[in-house]
Chains A and B, each alone.
Chain A
Amino acid sequence: MDYVLRRLAAALPVLFGITVLAFLLIHLMPGDPAQIILFGSNSTPEQIAGLRQQLGLNDSLPRQYLDFLGQLLHGNLGTSYLTQNSVAHELLSRAPSTLVLTFSALAVAIVIGVPLGLAAGVRPNSSLDRLCRGFSFLGVAIPYFFLALVLVLFFSVKLQWLPAIDDGTVSSLIIPAVSLGWGYSAILTRLIRGKIIQEYRSDYVKAARAHGASESRVLMRHALRNSSIPAITTIGLQFGNILTGAAITEVIFGRAGIGSFLATSITSKNIPVVQGAVVLIGGGYVVINLIIDLIVGAVDPRTRLATAVA
């Protein structure tokens, strides 16, 4: 319980900082928000001044921030400059598509990465291990947007097995998920291989073997279990990158998600949407890593003790 409270206490300042950063965006981005909203509508200087007053842009900065935070706590992320719809609604209605892609990519990464890492780690320097290492070296190097095009070229253009553009079916999810998950599977392969080699040298594995545990039991119950902890932590730390990777992948495949929405909002200076996305992505990252910290703490008692001492 003490551990849970400490992790929560560490996450709160970061969440607070994310809201400050998101708030400051409106003043960092060039251009007057009132002029951006009224752009092209032949507005008089009085109308612009009136809108500035209405948006609260004439208040002091701390006052504006408190207003922003107050709205945020009520789940209100402001209104889009372009459509006058609620930003929270626009973002959340697009979130499922992005999350489906993110978690499919994660699933691909785990399904490919974990078995390869195990196979390579159990017999280091075997030919299978060399193959896995080559795969992970190449996997990290191929950019996902290039891999996406290569996969489209083979499976959509040449073989015509899979659709190239999103049509809402599961089969149109396969190429985006594989191209995004591939690189992370390479990271997982490398990580798990290293951990398994390390665990196999440890005393408790020797003890388990001495007690007559079978090789598969040693691998699955002992070595893999201990290797899974850094793997879970790494997935958490990479979550933000997978999410933004999903955003770029959406743009490539014409999927309607947060990513393509954010990209057009950045170019059209639709600041409330960018603010909302920063709060959602940053906050989501903090919450996911908090959950992972708690899971790791529950699985591995050493973590709880280590942070208690430090």
Chain B
Amino acid sequence: MIATVTPRARLAGAAGSVRQQLSRVVVAVAVLLILAVLLAPGLLAHQDPINTGDDILTGPSAAHWFGTDQLGRDVYSRTVYGARPVLLASVLGVIVAALAGVGIGVIGGSGPRWVRAVTMRVVDVLLALPVLLIALILIATVGSGVPSIVLAVGVAFTPGFARVVESSVRQLRAVEFVQAAKVFGSRSSRTAVRHLLPNLATEVVVLISSGIGWAVLTATTLSFLGLGVQLPAADWGSDLAAGASNLSMAWWLSTFPGIAITITILLTNFLGDYVMTVLDPRHGHRRMLFRRFVLPMFRREKAAA
């Protein structure tokens, strides 16, 4: 068949590549921003976030881009420095959940029948409780603070991860190469490490990247309730809550941390979608990326063999 490219199709292809370029730019900027606020917030904000000043409750100006709060602190600096506890808590929390979820999922999915029955019933019970309730109970047990939020997000997200991993492990166990490994006398621990885990990697990356948005929401909700950083340290959730009491006088106090949270969740969701389309071959309508990046890798391997 002779391939004919209609003008319309060519236009669509061009638009697609523009969109791809744009997503790459957004991803690069997001990664740079995240690294900057985590490693060197001083590069972005020159004022100390906990320094009090004489300008009390002044609106956004050239000297204070996001205005000042009731103690004269610079809201822009607080917004920049407030990113660290939020990002640390949500990213580390999701990683904790992924590690625990993969562990429980693999044990539940490949262990003996009674092990599976016990672990999955426990997971079912935890799944019946809302994420935030589990997190709150955990913080009531271990006390407040950023490490507690990491633990709370980790434990609260574990059951969901474990459930997904367990069902994939069960599907994988029926696949021929795993069966073959078993026939050749591979121990179940070796099968899990050598054959199951590498095949779960993609799925775990997708789970992590799509979970971070929810984790940011959970972590900021907890710090909004005053369970996060020790004051006067900056934190989006607690600053947003503190600004609420001055809402009628100073709209900028809550608005900027709130916008920061919203943009972070937008970006992490975008990153999640990006990772998913790059990694997931089943994503039909965006198979382009898969064909262009992932398939060639396999082809090269085949040619070398």
A and B physically associate = yes
Contacts from A to B (Cβ < 8 Å): 13-14, 17-18, 20-21, 25, 28-30, 137-138, 140-143, 145-146, 149-150, 152-153, 157, 240-241, 243-245, 247-248, 251-252, 262-263, 266-267, 269, 274, 277-278, 281-282, 285-286
Contact at B140–A13, with CB atoms within 8 Å? no
- Describe A's contact surface by its main secondary structure: helix
| 10 nearest A-B residue pairs (beta carbon) | A17-B125, A240-B130, A146-B258, A141-B265, A244-B132, A244-B130, A141-B266, A266-B140, A157-B248, A282-B128
Q: Which of B70-78, B217-225, B289-297 contacts A (4 or more CB under 8 A)?
A: B217-225
A124 to chain B, nearest CB (A): 10
A265 to B125, CA, bound (A): 22
Q: Roughly how many angstroms separate A193 CA and B243 CA in the complex, as a whole number? A: 37
A141 close to B269 (CB less than 8 A) = yes
Residues of B with C-beta under 8 A to A142: 258, 262, 265
* Contact in complex: B269, A282 (CB < 8 Å): no
Contact between chains at B258 and A281 (CB < 8 Å): no
In the bound complex, residues from chain A placing their C-beta under 8 Å from that of B262 are 138, 141-143, 146
Q: Is B213 an interface residue (CB 8 A)?
A: yes
Contacts of A138 in B (CB 8 A): 262, 266
If A149-B258, A157-B248 touch, whether A285 touches B224 (CB-CB below 8 Å) is no
Interface centre among A28, A149, A251, A263 (most CB of B within 10 A): A149
Q: With CB as the reference atom, state the residue of chain B lying closest to A30.
A: B141
Q: Give chain A nearest CB distance to B240 CB in angstroms.
A: 6
28 CB-based A-B contacts, threshold 8 Å: A13-B124, A18-B128, A18-B129, A21-B125, A25-B137, A29-B141, A137-B266, A140-B213, A141-B269, A142-B262, A143-B258, A145-B221, A149-B247, A157-B247, A240-B130, A241-B132, A244-B131, A245-B132, A248-B221, A248-B225, A262-B136, A269-B140, A277-B133, A278-B129, A281-B130, A282-B128, A285-B128, A285-B130
A145 touches B266 (CB 8 A): no
Closest B residue to A18 by CB, please name it.
B125
- Taken residue by residue from 115 to 149, chain B's Cβ proximity to chain A (1 for < 8 Å, 0 otherwise) reads as 00000011011001111110011011100000000
**Other than the known A266-B136, A285-B128, what 8 A-B pairs have Cβ atoms closer than 8 Å?**
A21-B125, A25-B137, A138-B266, A143-B258, A145-B240, A146-B261, A244-B132, A285-B130
Taking CB atoms, residues of chain B closer than 8 Å to A20 are 125
Q: Which chain B residue has the least Cβ–Cβ distance from A262?
A: B136
Are the CB atoms of B121 and A17 closer together than 8 Å? yes
Whether A240 touches B129, Cβ cut-off 8 Å, given contacts A141-B262, A267-B140, is yes
Question: Is B158 an interface residue when CB atoms closer than 8 A count as contact?
Answer: no
CA distance A87 to B254 in the complex (A): 36
Question: Least Cβ distance of B235 to chain A in Å?
Answer: 14
Cβ–Cβ < 8 Å partners of B269 in chain A:
137, 140-141
- Measured between beta carbons, the chain B residues less than 8 angstroms from A248 are 132, 221, 224-225
Give CA–CA (A50, B269) in the complex, Å: 55
* A244 contacts B133, C-beta separation under 8 Å: yes
- In the bound assembly, the distance between CA atoms of A274 and B134 in angstroms comes to 11
Residues of A within 8 A of B128 (CB): 14, 17-18, 240, 282, 285-286
Looking at the assembled complex, report how far the CB atom of A200 sits from the nearest CB atom of chain B, in whole angstroms. 14
Minimum C-beta distance from B258 to chain A (A): 4
Q: Is the CB of B244 within 8 A of A252?
A: yes
Pairwise interchain contact A17-B122, C-beta atoms closer than 8 A: yes
Question: Which residues of chain A are within 8 angstroms of B254 by Cβ–Cβ distance?
Answer: 146, 149
User: In the complex, which residues of chain B have a beta carbon less than 8 angstroms from the beta carbon of A274?
Assistant: 137, 140
User: Smallest CB-CB separation from B222: which chain A residue?
Assistant: A248
B251 at the interface (CB under 8 A from A): yes
Q: B255 an interface residue at 8 Å Cβ cutoff?
A: yes
Residues on A with C-beta less than 8 A from B136 are 262-263, 266
A52 CA to B179 CA in the complex, in Å? 56
Report the minimal beta-carbon distance from B123 to chain A, rounded to whole angstroms.
10
- Measured CB to CB, the closest approach of chain B to A95, in angstroms, equals 15
Kindly state the separation between the CA atoms of A142 and B132 in the bound complex, as whole angstroms: 17
> What is the CA–CA distance of A153 and B266 in the complex, to the nearest angstrom?
23
Q: Which of A137, A153, A266 contacts B137 (CB 8 A)?
A: A266
Q: How far is the CA of A152 from the CA of B244 in the complex (A)?
A: 10
Known: A140-B213, A145-B240. A14 touches B225 (CB 8 A): no
B217:A143 contact, CB within 8 angstroms? yes
